[in-house]
Structure formats: structure tokens, C-alpha cells
Structure 1
Amino acid sequence: MKGLFCRAEEGEAEPKFIIQETTLPEVLGSHQVRVQVKACGLSPVDLKLLRDVGIQTDLVPVGREVAGVVLQVGPKVTFFQPKDEVVGILPLDSLCSGLCEVIDVDECVLVRRPEKLSATCAAATLRDGVRAYTALHTHAGIAAGHTLLVLDGSSNFGLMCIQLASYCGLKVLATSNSAEEQAFLEQLRPAVGVQEPLVARVIPVYNGSSDLLSAVLEETGGLGVDAVIDSGVCLFIEEKLLPHKHDIISMLSAGGTWVTSHQDLQLDPPDCRLLFLKSASVSFLNPEVWTTSSAQQGRYLHILKDVIEKMSTGVLRPRPQEAMPLYEAVVVMETIQRQLRKTAVIQL
């Protein structure tokens, strides 16, 4: 049985992805489930994060968002039975690659998959759905009537944030990085219910076509937004699509929250002073925290179940993408590692 692994040696500019032969133990663990994988989602491998949490190995398993069917359960497993359709995210320290035909995984990281939700859709969307749920509910503390700004709204993560926030009754603003993305966001409609646009205003930020701060303040009557969710920011004055950190703080309302995915964010004293005056806060989004700590395992399972339920009912809908065959996994993963916005799903 073969799986996809990442090998990052010192001195190499980019990690290498290789197909490696792997085997499963003959005896299944007490709380483990043996799953036949039907689809696996691919996303960038964060080697720095792995080193920071003490996971150092020559070969890092690749492919952690899996959907499949249960083949066998351990003697103490209570959640699942053979032939159950399941979906889940493998933990950071998992020894199995999600691109193996059969994997052993702990039952506490899996949830049932409804029949009307395809395995490929579940594997492709689960990671970004969990990220969006964590950003909005855990960090931003959203409530109906709040105003939210989603940066890079047409990305997979941004799209999940927009749909989930609209479902919860928020007014959503979003930025677009091209004319095509702007048209896509303006045409977004819910799958069920009143067919009103999901995004109240799409703010273009390409080619200097809009001043983001002015547009946000104009849309909110000068009060600012209750929450901002980014996928990276600009720390210094540079000609980039990413907004500047000071602009983001300036567009927050009193008591607002900035949820950032920027791992190396640096705030200058004037920025901190502005946050203090607004009584606003900065929250760091690390979706891996759920699988690296067992302190809130029950809450994590609740999030997984809710995300899967919203996928099956059409509340959360990913951008259509073609499932790739297994023999293209190495090439696809190399592309994903270079283009961090990109994700893919492999059908086994």
C-alpha cells in the first residue's frame, strides 16, 4: 500500500513530495477505526508549525482531510460500526497519509457523513469549513446584526466565511483581487431561502481600484466593522494586494475583533494605541489547535458535525473543483505548496 509523504531536508529551497510504501499494523488499537479512504483533500504542509510543536520526522504524511467507509473497529470503539460513512481531519502527528487506500485513525477525530453529501465534497471543504467556524464563532464571537469584512472573499476559506456569516444573519463585506472574482462574489446567492446577495458589497482591491478603508467606513456610516477576517496582511508599505495592518485596525468598530492568519504579525506602538482606544482585539487563527490539544475534544467534534450538517443542507457550498486521480497527487501537491490559496481533492 502506497501513500504520499513530504520530505524536507536542510538546505533545500522547497520540500519534495514522494510516493512511499507503507503498511498497517496487524492489530487495531482499542479506540481506533480502520477506514477505506474514498477521497482526500490536499492543502499546504506547514513544516514550521510541525517543528514548533515538536514533530520532527524525515517523512511527513500528506493528505489529512479524509472521507471514507469504516471497515473494522477496535474493541472499545463506541461511535462507529463497520460500513459507516465517515469524514474527518487526521491529527498533525498522524503516521498515516490520507492518500493510502486504508488507514487507521482514532475514533475521536471522525464524524458520520450523510448519504447526500459526497465524499469528494466533504474532503475538499471540511478544512476550510472548520477554519471559518473557528474564526467566526470561537474568535470573533459573531451575532446577528454584526458587520463582517472578509478579505480575499473568493478563496475557499473566504467563501466558507461568507456563507456561514450570512446564514447567521451578519452583513458581509468582502474584497476581490480581480474582475472575475468580483463578478463571482456579486452573484453569490444562498441555496435555500430568500435569494438575496450573500455579500452586501464587494470591494475591489486590484490595480489600485479602491481605497479599502474609505469604502468600509462609507458602508458602515463611519462606525467600522465588528470583525475582520484576513488570510494575511501587509506589515510594511508595499505594493501588494494585501491590506496594511494599520488600515485593518482603523476600520474596526469599538470592541471589534481582527482575526488574522498572519503568523508573524508585528504591531507598532501607534497600532496598539489605536486598538486600546477602540477597546478592540487581535485574535490569531490557528485551526490546528483543535487536533493538537485534547482539552476541548467535545467542542471540536461538535464543530465537525455542524460543518458537515451545513454542507449536506447546502448552507456551505464550495467552489466547484474537479477531483483529481491518485497518480497526479505529487504534481498537484507541488503546485499547492507553491500557491498557498489553492486546494485540491484526490479521489481514490
Structure 2
Amino acid sequence: MWTKQCGPPAVQRNEVGKRLISVGREIVGVVKKVGSKVSLFQPEEEVVGILPLDCPFSGLCGVVDIDEHYLVHKPVQLSSVTVVAALRDAVAAYTALHTLAHMAARHSVLVVDGANSFGLMCIQLAWYHGLKVLTTSHSTENHTFLEQLRPTVGVQDPLIARVIPVYKGPSNLVPAVLEETGGLGVDIVIDSGVHLHKEEEKDFRPHKHDLIDVLAVGGHWVTSHPHLQLDPPDSSYLHLKSASVSFLNPEVWTASSAQHGRYLHILKDIVDKMSTGILRPQPQEAFPLYEATVAMETIQRHPQRKAVVKLSPVD
């Protein structure tokens, strides 16, 4: 039994120049056979993990040969579809908040577009660690969804201190954040992409100047924009605030064997929190294998979407 998540294909070349196309790199399933030196798993155990970038196998295979150090046990009570759909975004949220932003209780954080899968993971993880969470909504449906977010246990107060709509004309992001923080700004900003120039603003992503404006003194801006460019005035402004900018790349954990221990700890903590309801991903529908091509075509047209492909009956 294997369940795969399709994502935008990553193309690499191996040492002889052959193209490797990695598709559906998030996997969950049952161990069929182990090698003589494997010590962490036994046959018939359920596992979950992410294929490394240099893996020659696609996730859309009935059997995948993978090193044990890329997998963790899946709790029995955790849905296979749920965990495989949100695993990558949860790793990204941990990387952004723990590793890059060094979050601490009583910090404040602005999560841009909190209704997407990555934003939702950031919101729940930040709230769990005692941060004050602000977020933006990009539609009336997203705004209602974010306003109604509540924890599964304990006091049923909202997870989010304020949801800022950015779809009603000119953005009021900066004044809303400053109002909510007493003019001080937020300690952490996590974006899902930004605009670098005014003429680019064709959607609801914030402008880079807005995010710099809402940063508090000593704040951390974690960006998902791989081509972010800061002009000298931007750098001077960040320097005056003693603020920092970090680039979010969740794939970095598998780039060095020295990080495998921390990476596996993160994966295990993610599945444990999902199994107890602390992290609640958005529900996903699993596609049967014969619809995998249709799912991939949809993702290529809409890169922000996800699709889970079911190779055999799962829970």
C-alpha cells in the first residue's frame, strides 16, 4: 500500500547527465522488505517520508527503494492521505519558525495567506508555542475559514488574533499590523511570495516594502521568494531595525548528512502532532492511480494545489 502526493516535478541530472524527474515525492505506505543493515523498521510497519531530490524513483511507483534515514513511523490513528498531503508544508513551517525565525513564546508573527496549506501549518504551530498570530485573507471564503479556526482541545479561543483582508481594494496591511501591535510591528513575518515592483501587483501578494514596514526591531523576515532583490534603501531600513531576512528552502535538510538527525526529529514531531490533533491539515481527496495524469495536469496549471494519488486501498 502506497499513497503519493503529486507536486510540481523537480528536474535534476545525475552524474552521467541523465534527466531525473521527481514526481510525488511525499510517500506513505507499508514496509515490504528491509536490508540486512536496517535497524529502524521491520516489514509490515507503516512509514511516511519525503524522497530526496536525487532519488531516481518517482513517488508514483508500487514499490520504492529508499534509505531508512528518510522515513519515520506513521501512527496507526493518523490517516495516510492526511499526513502525505501536509508533510512538506509542515516541514517548511518548522524550518521557517524554529530554524530560521527562532520563535519564542509571546512573539508576534504575521503569516501571509494563512488559508493555504503552508500558512495553516505555520498558524497552528505558532499558536501552539504561544505566539500572537496575525494573517491575511485573500477571499471572503478564506476570511471566514480563518476567523473560525479553533484549537481541538482546551479553551476554544480563536487561533488567530486578527485576520487582515487584502482583497477589498488597496491593502491596509501595514496600518492593520501596526494597530494590532501598538505601532511596534511583528517579530516574525512569513510570506508565500512577494512583489518586488509595483507594476507586478496582479494578485494579493504583499509588496516587499510592506513586509519591511511591519517588521519590529530585531525582527525576522522568512521569505519563500527565491529571487528576492533588496535595493540599498531596503537594506538600510533593515539595518536600522537590526532585522534579518532568511530564505526558506525546506529541501536543505537532505543536503547534508549532518542534518539527518534533526530532520528525522522534525518528521517524527510532525506526525505525532498530526495524530493528536495539534496540527490539523486541510482535508484532501485521494485520486485513484488511473487519474494521476489528470491530477498532474491540474497541478501544472495551478502550482499551489496538491493532489494525493492512491495506488491501493488506504485508510
Tell me which interval the TM-score lies in, with the shorter structure as reference length: over 0.9
By how many angstroms is 1:95 displaced?
1.1
| RMSD after superposition | 1.5
The equivalent residue for 2:276 is: 313
Task: Identify which of structures 1 and 2 has the higher relative contact order when contacts are C-alpha pairs closer than 8 Å and 6+ apart.
Answer: 2
The equivalent residue for 2:82 is: 121
1:322–1:255 distance in 2 versus 1, CA, 3 Å: same
By how many angstroms is 1:38 displaced?
2.2
1:302 equivalent among 237, 258, 265: 265
By how many angstroms is 1:55 displaced?
9.7
Per-residue CA distance 1:225-244 (angstroms, 9 max, x = gap): 00000010000013331111
1:236 equivalent among 179, 197, 201: 197
Provide structure 1 residue ranges, at least 5 long, that are not aligned to the other structure.
1-36
By how many angstroms is 1:46 displaced?
4.1
CA contact (8 A) 1:310 1:316 kept: yes
1:54–1:341 distance in 2 versus 1, CA, 3 Å: farther
Per-residue CA distance 1:266-289 (angstroms, 9 max, x = gap): 000110001000000000000111
The equivalent residue for 1:261 is: 224
Tell me how far apart the structure 1 counterparts of residues 192 and 228 of structure 2 sit (CA, whole Å).
Answer: 12
Tell me how far apart the structure 1 counterparts of residues 282 and 64 of structure 2 sit (CA, whole Å).
Answer: 28
Tell me how far apart the structure 2 counterparts of residues 97 and 326 of structure 1 sit (CA, whole Å).
Answer: 13
The equivalent residue for 1:136 is: 97
Identity rate of aligned residues, in percent?
Answer: 64
Tell me how far apart the structure 2 counterparts of residues 164 and 191 of structure 1 sit (CA, whole Å).
Answer: 13
Tell me how far apart the structure 2 counterparts of residues 114 and 78 of structure 1 sit (CA, whole Å).
Answer: 18
CA contact (8 A) 1:62 1:99 kept: yes
CA contact (8 A) 2:4 2:26 kept: yes
1:230–1:46 distance in 2 versus 1, CA, 3 Å: farther
The equivalent residue for 1:331 is: 294
3-state SS of 2:281 partner: coil
3-state SS of 2:221 partner: strand
Per-residue CA distance 1:193-220 (angstroms, 9 max, x = gap): 2111011110011131641111100110
Tell me how far apart the structure 2 counterparts of residues 243 and 54 of structure 1 sit (CA, whole Å).
Answer: 40
Q: TM-score normalised to the size of structure 2?
A: 0.95
**Are positions 1:102 and 2:63 aligned together?**
yes
- Which stretch shifts more, 335-344 or 136-145? 335-344
1:193–1:40 distance in 2 versus 1, CA, 3 Å: same
Aligned-partner residue type, residue 40 of structure 2: F
Tell me how far apart the structure 2 counterparts of residues 332 and 61 of structure 1 sit (CA, whole Å).
Answer: 15
Q: TM-score normalised to the size of structure 1?
A: 0.86
1:252 equivalent among 199, 206, 215: 215
CA contact (8 A) 1:136 1:161 kept: yes
By how many angstroms is 1:294 displaced?
1.3
By how many angstroms is 1:340 displaced?
2.1
Aligned-partner residue type, residue 153 of structure 1: G
Provide structure 2 residue ranges, at least 5 long, that are not aligned to the other structure.
none
The equivalent residue for 1:162 is: 123
CA contact (8 A) 1:174 1:203 kept: yes
CA contact (8 A) 2:147 2:163 kept: yes
Tell me how far apart the structure 1 counterparts of residues 15 and 217 of structure 2 sit (CA, whole Å).
Answer: 39
Tell me how far apart the structure 1 counterparts of residues 308 and 106 of structure 2 sit (CA, whole Å).
Answer: 35
Tell me how far apart the structure 1 counterparts of residues 221 and 9 of structure 2 sit (CA, whole Å).
Answer: 25
**Are positions 1:188 and 2:149 aligned together?**
yes
CA contact (8 A) 2:9 2:22 kept: no
By how many angstroms is 1:61 displaced?
2.8
Tell me how far apart the structure 2 counterparts of residues 301 and 330 of structure 1 sit (CA, whole Å).
Answer: 31
Aligned-partner residue type, residue 133 of structure 2: V
CA contact (8 A) 1:203 1:210 kept: no
By how many angstroms is 1:336 displaced?
1.2
Tell me how far apart the structure 1 counterparts of residues 22 and 241 of structure 2 sit (CA, whole Å).
Answer: 44
Aligned-partner residue type, residue 267 of structure 1: L
**Are positions 1:67 and 2:48 aligned together?**
no
Per-residue CA distance 1:128-156 (angstroms, 9 max, x = gap): 11110111000110011000000011000
**Are positions 1:276 and 2:245 aligned together?**
no
Aligned-partner residue type, residue 69 of structure 2: C
CA contact (8 A) 1:129 1:160 kept: yes
Aligned-partner residue type, residue 229 of structure 2: Q
Aligned-partner residue type, residue 9 of structure 2: V
**Are positions 1:78 and 2:42 aligned together?**
no
